[in-house]
Structure 1
Amino acid sequence: MDLIYLFKSLMRRKWLIISCTLMAALVAFLLTLEQEKQYRSVAQIATGFTVIDQVKLKDESFNIYEIDVKFSNVIEALKSPRVLGMTSYNLMLHDLENPEKAFHIPNAEDRKTDIYRTLDRQKAIKMLTRKYNDEQLLSSYDPEERKIQELLKLYRYNLESLRNLLYVGRVQRTDFIDIQYWSVNPELSAYIVNQVCTEYLRNYESSRNELTVQNIETLKKLVDQKRDELDAKIANIKIMGTLDVSVESSSKLEQISNFENRLADEKSLLNSAQLTLQQINIRLAEMNKNNSQSNNATSSANTELSSLRTQMNETYTEYVNKGANDADLYTKYQKLKSDYKAKLAAMASAAPTNTVGNTLADLQQKKSDLELQVKSSEVNIGAYEQKIRQLNSSMGAAASRGANNLALQKEVELAQQEYESIKSRYDAAVNNKIAPMDNFHQILFGQPAVEPEPSKRLIIIALAAVAMLVFCCIAIVFFEYIDLSIKTPTQFLKVLEMKLLGVVNRINPKKVSLEEIFTDPHLKKHDSAVFRELLRKLRFEMENSGKKTFLFTSTKPREGKTTIIKALAYSLSLTHKKVLIIDTQFPNNSLTRDFGAKPVLESFNSSAGNFNADQIKKLITESSLPGIYIIGCQGGEYTPSEVLKQGNLLEYIEKLTPHYDYILLEGAAMNDRADSKELIKYVDTLIAIISARSSIKQTDKESIAFLQGLQDKFEGAVLNFVEPENIDI
């Protein structure tokens, strides 16, 4: 759907749009005719949110989002039921206690109400005074308080009435809040804005004091609780001790390092002694082999010497195993050693002097010394390793004790932080009670207005007219959008994709006759003139087709087939053509009724041998229009194949073509009946009539698919009922 079509749709309904717009303006004019003059009064409150001029208890950063939330809270509080309720009670007390200076005087209708007539003035004053002093709202469940609420509504001091005329908002980019009120009484407007400020400050002060006391008590309990927890944790860490594990660990690490160094040295000595001992054993084995005979002579001496050496070694081993601390064993060891050396020296002096003997004794002495050194080194290595293991074990215990100390210290630090946080909040709450953080005060007091506010009557009327204009345009566009009808030839070609034979606009044949449309030279009616020219184009297409028998049908009923057939017949007759119309629409024989034709189609029957054109003359009815003839049908709920027998008139239609230039047939709608499909075999071609007001549904698509399947026998479609301004081809 293009913009040009929508614009044309709006232009077609321009008078409707104009009349609705004028009607809306007239209604707005009448509604504002008795509009009362309104007087506005303004008061302002400074909040102190953005300009901090009070004593600062702690450093705070400027948070714009938090400031906005605070302003919103204050605005809602100013419009809250509690503040406006106290304001309405004060207004009601003012009017009841000072009737001669009352802001609102009930009219005659209000005075006739039961609430006003049965009012106990003193009782009402007493109840309102009590509620106002206690800052309590009236209850709807109490009958007496319910009467006071009805009285407030009568005086228009109820919550809804005040809120409708009250404006509360922040003055942009400032620290101030505007309170504005409109009423017919300038003094009432000033009184209300000032009273709203007073009631808000009063309500805020009482609420702040109540909340502050509650907060201080709650925070005091939390402070005591956190202090007790902190004391308990400090006592626990005192019980566990405060040993510096790092010092102990450093000392033990140093000892381990010393023992490891000594262990390495001892292992080095052991390896050296073992290697030397292996070499001496090899040399002794060689010497024993070479001197076995000499050794036999001195075997007894050697046995004694061996026994001394054995005793000496056992004594040394026992001495080492007992910790090398036994003096007796050490003395015994020294004695055995000296005996061993003395015996060895005696054997050396008694033996023949030779180099080999001296060498053997030396090697045996060295072997003995080395074996003693090996055993001593092994004992020392074992002692060092055991000591290192003990130190490592004590290091693990110290680390565990240190971890416990660190965990306890962490708990103490966390408890200290929690205690300090709660304590700071408690101190701030106590200080806020003395020096409040907020600085609310009224900086502008409302004054009675001298001049009333502009009525804005013209603006209201203009807005009403514009709103109705826009609404009408949107409504028309909306209905055009949801309207799925074809409307224009362009839309027809886009949706149906079938040959468009011609376009016919909508006319009312009851207001203008066919003779007038085609013969009146002074015809000035635009739609009729357009209809005439479009029909002439359609007539040209029919004449140019070279065919003589035409069946007119449609997909659905009431598409305008009858009107187009009559108009085409008359248009053809104006070109001196003879036109025969055969009414084959049995369900609705409108052509027969319109022309007053004889209903003879169903009854005619003739054999091929007996048929001649003269037989048809008595069946034909000549119409009042020159050159147009018609054969009517009786009509009924039957199809052509059911009512027309063999030898019917349609079987001889080709024999009538020499006598008539064109023969036109009308068939029933294809969506509902099969009449047109049965009549196709009798004609040369078929023309479909489709209304521009119709929408294409599934049943229409099936019928159109059938027509397109006829190929050359389907001449095309005629788009009927098109608005003249929608003819875009």
Structure 2
Amino acid sequence: MDLLQIFRTLKKRLWIIILVPLLTAGIAYFFLKDAAETYKSSTQVATGFTIKDRVQLQEERVSTWEIELKFGNLIETFKSPLVVGLLSYRLILNDLQEPNPFRSMEEDEDFKEYFTQEELQNAAQIFQDKLDSLQILSAYNPKERKLIDLLKYYGYDYGSLSGGLSVQRVNYSDYIAIEFASENPKLSAFAVNTLVEEYQHYHDRMRGVRSNESMEFFTNLVTEKKKVLDEKRDLLRSFQSDSRLYNVETEGEAKVTRIAALEEEKQNEESRLMGLELQLRSINRQLAELQRGGENGGNARILELQNSIDRLNSANIGSNNPAIQDSIALLREKLKLEIARGDLGTTNAQARVERLQEEREQTMLDIQVARQRVGTLGNELARMSYAKSDLAAKRSTIKELEREVELAATEYQSAQEKFNAAKNSFMVDAGSVRQIIYGQPAIEPEPSKAPIFIGLIGMVSMVLCVMVILLVDYVDLSLKTAANLEKQTKIPVAGTLNHINAANLDLYDLFHNTHKDEGLEMFKHLLRKLRYELEETGKQVFLFTSTKQGEGKSFVIMTLAYSLSLLHKRVLIIDTNFKHNTLTESLLAKPQKTRLLNGYMANGKLLLTDGRSDEGRKQAATAAAEAEEGATAEAHTEGQLMSDEQDNYSFISPTHHTNIDIIGSHVTLASPAEVLSGKGFSSLMKELKHHYDYIFMEGASLNDYSDTKELFRYAERVVPVFSAHSVLKQMDKESVRYLRELNGNLMGSVLNKVEFENLKL
């Protein structure tokens, strides 16, 4: 839909666009003309959200989003049902108890019948209790539901008060403006000031409740954490006392040092024991050798000592054991003595035996003492190792208990800090919202907004009308214009005819006079254009058809035939629409007394006479037969059937228009093929072409009948007629597909009944 079409659519329905807004504006004026005057009072409160003029416990960095959130929360609190409900309690108590009420119901008989004086007194007490306890009325309580009805009578319910209340932030400032409008200036001022008071009342109560809850919570938290800390400390002290372990680190280091010393001492004692045992074996061998006597014995002793020294040297390689080194030194001394003794001979053998025996006894004693010492040291090491293991377990337990004590101390300190912060916050935050401008009764009423509302209602109704009109036009799928017809059918448009009132149409007056009606003049012009297109085809026989009934085929045929008669063209109309013989009914004065196309036959053939003399008719028939030389035998025979006996029968009837004749028909269920087949209609058409310049036939609708398809063989061109008011449905599209398949035999479509405004679209 382009702009031009939109403009013409709106222009066509301009009366609706004007009438509907005027009507709605008039209705609005009727309801608003007696509207009561309103008085508005306003107050301002400072929030302190954007000004840092109060004590701060810590540096606060507030973002713009947080500020907007705080303002939103504050505004919603002012407008909340609870705060507005507290205002309604104050208002109703004023009207019920004060001598100068804002609103009075003394003259309202319905009110007096619904509420007794006793009920009003009880209601005042309930309202006061609700005000003191900061509670709202419950609609589920029958008594309180009646109190809600009382508020509605006075106009103090939440809905009524919210309608006149406005709470909003003043631009980007720190202030909030509160306005209230009513019919009483004192009521408006009282409402805005009381709303701020009740908000403060509600805020202080809620702040106190929240602060008490916070203080109680943190007090309990501190007490609990302190109790846990004391329990952990007592458990640690009890474990240290039971295990007699107070300094884990010191006692652990002492035990480790003691174990190391014992291990070193045991190792030394074991080395000494080994040396003593070697020494004992050496003494025993020396005694055995001396008892055998002789020099051989001394040499054997020297060899034995030498071998012992060699074995000890081999054992001492890489270890440097002090005990082994002492044994080696001792054996070397003995070796020297043996060598010296060897020089003395055997004179001192007895003395050596005695000495060796003394050494053996001493050595055996030393070995016994050393073994006892090694056993004692082993027992001491075992005891110290067990004590060390037990100490590690106790040390782990003490470390765990100390960690639990440290964690409990941290939690207790954190709880103490939160408790102090809550206490400080309660002492600092005394409420930042404060009233800076008090509401005053208005001196003059507010300017009436009735004209604005009336104009707005008119504008809205106009816009709605325009939208509805355009929507209806957009969803209208009718053809409307030639462009739409060609787009939907893919058939070229041969001509268009605008919609006129055909009931009283006088064709003679139409073409011979000038009319003030633009529609009639346009119709005459478009009909001439269609006549030109028809003449340009160079054909004589035209079949007019349509996809459905009521498209205007008969009207197009009659008007087109008349326009051709003005050019002195002879036109014959054959009414072959056997389902709706509109042409016959319109052009024949007495069709029931006229021989019709499907009503009379002579010898089974259709006969033609034109009212001339017998000789003239015979000559015409002979000339027609000669002209049709080479035609079928049937055509020749039909030409020979003209006889004197048949001259009295004629199917052609003149109309009341000059040069326009008609062959009528009556309504029948038979199809054209059933009526005309075998009756020489082809020969008749050939002969008629010699007498008439144009022959127009009409076929029944393609959607309903096959008449057009059966008549197509007799026509030279097919002219489909469409109505601009029609909508092409599926059956129409199938009929259009058939018409497109006619190829060169299709002249082009005619769009009939086009609205005058759509002719240029």
Q: CA separation in 2, counterparts of 1:592 and 1:323?
A: 152
Q: How does 1:659-698 map to 2 (within 5 A)?
A: 659-698=691-730
Residue of structure 2 in register with 1:316 after alignment: 313
Which of 698, 713, 736 pairs up with 1:704?
736
Q: SS in structure 1 opposite 2:719? A: strand
CA gap of 1:305–1:200, structure 2 versus 1, over 3 A, is: same
Instruction: Pick one of 517, 523, 530 that aligns with 2:510.
Output: 517
**Structure 1 residues 655, 615: CA separation in 2 closer, same or farther (over 3 Å shift)?**
farther
1:23-42 CA distance string (max 9 Å, x none):
23322222221111111011
**Where do residues 171-186 of structure 1 align in structure 2 (5 Å cutoff)?**
171-186=170-185
For residues 672-699 of structure 1, the C-alpha deviation after alignment (integer angstroms, 9 at most, x for no partner) is 3322122211111101112233333333
> Structure 1 residues 166, 324: closer, same or farther in 2, change over 3 A?
same
CA change 1:62–1:407 in 2 (3 A) is farther
Name the CA distance, whole Å, in 1 between partners of 2:561 and 2:331. Answer: 164
What pairs up with 1:387-466 in 2 under 5 angstroms? 422-436=415-429, 438-466=431-459
2:219 maps to which residue? Answer: 220
Q: Which residue does the alignment assign to 1:333?
A: 328
Q: How do residues 73-222 of structure 1 correspond to structure 2 at under 5 angstroms?
A: 73-99=73-99, 101-106=100-105, 108=107, 111=110, 114-116=113-115, 120-222=119-221
Unaligned runs of 5+ in 2: 241-245, 254-298, 340-392, 606-633
- Quote the offset at 1:499 in angstroms: 1.4
Query: Contact conserved, 2:111 with 2:153, CA < 8 A, in 1?
Result: no
**Of 87-96 and 587-596, the range deviating more from structure 2:** 587-596
Q: CA–CA distance in 1 between the matches of 2:76 and 2:449?
A: 28
| Contact 1:48 1:438 (C-alpha < 8 Å) held by counterparts | no
- Write the letter of the residue equivalent to 1:74: L
8 Å contact from structure 1 (residues 504, 722) kept in 2: yes
Is residue 2:525 matched to residue 1:533?
yes
More divergent stretch after superposition (605-614 vs 208-217) = 605-614
1:563 to 555, 561, 565: 555
Contact 1:50 1:175 in 2 (8 A): yes
Preserved contact between residue 105 and residue 111 of structure 2 (Cα < 8 Å)? no
Contact 1:651 1:682 in 2 (8 A): no
Shift of 1:559: 1.9
Distance 1:419 1:582 in 2: 116
**Residue type of the alignment partner of 2:487:** K
For the 8 Å contact 1:599–1:634, the answer to whether it is kept is no
Shift of 1:322: 9.4
Q: CA deviation at 1:82?
A: 1.6
**How far does residue 162 in structure 1 lie from its aligned partner after superposition?**
0.8
SS in 2 for 1:196: helix
Is the CA contact (8 Å cut-off) linking 1:553 and 1:686 kept in structure 2?
yes
Cα 1:703–1:452 change in 2 (3 A) is same
Q: Which of 484, 490, 501 is the aligned partner of 1:491?
A: 484
Q: Which residue of 2 aligns with 1:472?
A: 465
Question: SS state of the match for residue 689, structure 1?
Answer: strand
Structure-to-structure mapping, 1:572-651, within 5 angstroms: 572-596=564-588, 597=591, 598=594, 600-605=596-601, 606-607=604-605, 608=634, 609-610=637-638, 618-647=650-679, 649=681
1:631 CA drift (Å): 2.3
Instruction: Tell me how far 1:336 sits from its aligned partner.
Output: 5.4
The SS at the match of 1:139 is coil
Give the conservation status (yes or no) of the 8 Å contact 1:187–1:448.
yes
Determine if contact 2:638/2:683 at 8 Å carries over to the other structure.
no
- How many residues end up aligned between the 2 structures? 626
Q: What is the alpha-carbon distance in structure 2 between the residues aligned to residue 221 and residue 38 of structure 1?
A: 55
Q: TM-score, normalised by structure 1?
A: 0.76
SS at match of 1:715: coil
Looking at structure 1, the residues matched to 660 and 452 of structure 2 have their Cα atoms a distance apart, in angstroms, of: 65
1:243–1:47: structure 2 CA closer, same or farther, 3 Å change rule?
Answer: farther
Residues 490, 728 of structure 1: 8 Å contact kept: no
Instruction: Work out the percentage of aligned pairs sharing the same amino acid.
Output: 36
Provide Cα deviations, 1:276-323, integer angstroms capped at 9, x if missing partner. xxxxxxxxxxxxxxxxxxxxxxxxxx9999977654332334567998
Q: Residues of 2 paired with 1:403 and 1:485: CA distance?
A: 97
Deviations 1:403-448 (A, max 9, x none): 9999999998887776555444332322233232531221121111
Specify the SS of the correspondent of 1:602: coil
Q: Distance in 1 between matches of 2:109 and 2:745?
A: 85
Mean alpha-carbon deviation: is it higher for 410-419 or for 66-75?
410-419
What whole-Å deviation, never above 9, does each CA across 1:65-120 have from its counterpart, x for those lacking one?
A: 12212211121111222222222122112112235x22113375554663146763
Superposition deviation, residue 176 in structure 1: 1.6
1:520 Cα shift? 2.4
> In terms of mean alpha carbon deviation, does 136-145 or 535-544 score higher?
136-145
Given that 1:110 and 1:116 are in contact with CA atoms closer than 8 Å, whether structure 2 keeps it comes out as no
Kept in 1: contact 2:574–2:696 (CA 8 A): yes
What does residue 53 of structure 1 align with?
53
- Normalising by structure 2, report the TM-score: 0.73
Cα drift, residue 625 of structure 1: 2.3
In structure 2, relative to structure 1, the CA distance for the partners of 1:225 and 1:498 (3 Å cut) is: farther
Label 1:408 to 1:500 Cα distance change in 2 as closer, same or farther (>3 A): farther
Alpha-carbon contact 1:226-1:418 (below 8 Å) kept: yes
Separation in 2, partners of 1:2, 1:420: 79
d(CA) in 2 for partners of 1:695 and 1:413? 91
User: Is the CA contact 1:604–1:649 (under 8 Å) kept in the aligned structure 2?
Assistant: no
What is the match of residue 716 of structure 1? 748
- 1:546 offset after TM fit, Å? 0.8
Rg comparison, structure with higher value:
2
Alignment of 1:343-354 (within 5 A): none
Q: Return the offset for 1:465.
A: 2.1
Secondary structure of 2:748's aligned partner: strand
**CA pair 177-649 structure 1, distance change in 2 beyond 3 A:** same
Q: Return the alpha-carbon distance in structure 2 between the equivalents of residues 692 and 403 of structure 1.
A: 104
Note the alpha carbon deviations across 1:206-237, whole angstroms, 9 max, x for none. Answer: 11111211122223333444556677788999
Q: Distance in 1 between matches of 2:105 and 2:44?
A: 31
For the residues of structure 2 that align with 1:634 and 1:230, how far apart are their CA atoms? 119
- SS of residue in 2 equivalent to 1:721: strand
The residue identity in structure 2 corresponding to 1:206 is: R
Q: Once the 2 structures are TM-superposed, how far is the Cα of residue 531 of structure 1 from its aligned partner?
A: 0.8
What secondary structure is seen at the aligned counterpart in 2 of 1:686?
A: strand
User: In structure 2, do the counterparts of structure 1 residues 573 and 106 end up closer, same or farther at CA, with 3 Å as the change threshold?
Assistant: farther
User: C-alpha distance in 2, partners of 1:419/1:717?
Assistant: 99
Q: Are the aligned partners of 2:551 and 2:722 in contact in 1 as well (CA < 8 Å)?
A: yes
SS of the equivalent of 1:44 reads strand
Give the AA of the match of 1:471: L
Spell out the pairing of 1:258-269 with structure 2 (5 A cutoff). Answer: none
RMSD: 4.1
The aligned counterpart of 1:504 is 497
* Residue identity opposite 1:676 in structure 2: T
Q: Is the 8 A contact 2:595 2:650 kept in 1?
A: no
Offset, 1:617: 6.3
Correspondence for 2:474? 481
- The SS at the match of 1:447 is coil
- Structure 1 counterpart of 2:362: none
- Asked if structure 2 preserves the Cα contact closer than 8 Å seen for 1:601 and 1:633, the reply is yes
Contact 2:87 2:195 in 1 (8 A): yes
